[in-house]
């Protein structure tokens, strides 16, 4: 029978992946940002939030604006997403139509 070493020597704790080589301060900043994102958008999975953080942190602002513009202007290959865009647009139109305007004398 083989003896098992229970002293823990030679074992290391697993470290989180750090493909962008963030410093300890940057990792702390990321954790704080992800916590805030979770409070704002609770239904978004943690992995997706982390991907968005990394994308925004490591991509130039011009490139991000270009991607956003492409998303807004290019028809989706997923039919359901077009319906969501249309419904949101109709909802905004109804909100603007039903706004109450105050007139101060």
pLDDT digits (tens, 9 = 90+) for 74-90: 877 766 666 777 888 88
Q: At what angle do helices 24-40 and 46-58 cross, to 10 degrees?
A: 130
The predicted model gives 24-44 an average pLDDT of 95
State residue 93's pLDDT score.
86
Confidence of residue 103 (pLDDT cuts 50, 70, 90): low
User: What pTM value is reported for the model?
Assistant: 0.59
The predicted model gives 52-73 an average pLDDT of 94
Please state the φ and ψ torsions of residue 84, each to the nearest 5 degrees.
Answer: -65, -45
């Amino acid at each position: 029978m083989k003896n098992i070493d229970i002293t823990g020597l030679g074992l290391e704790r697993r470290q989180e992946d750090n493909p962008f080589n963030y410093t300890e301060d940057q990792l702390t900043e990321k954790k704080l940002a992800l916590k805030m994102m979770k409070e704002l958008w609770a239904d978004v999975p943690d992995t997706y939030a982390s991907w968005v953080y990394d994308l925004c942190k490591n991509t130039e602002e011009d490139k991000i604006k270009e991607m956003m513009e492409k998303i807004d202007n290019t028809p989706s290959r997923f039919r359901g997403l077009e319906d969501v865009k249309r419904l949101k647009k109709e909802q905004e139109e109804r909100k603007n139509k039903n706004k109450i305007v105050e007139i101060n004398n």
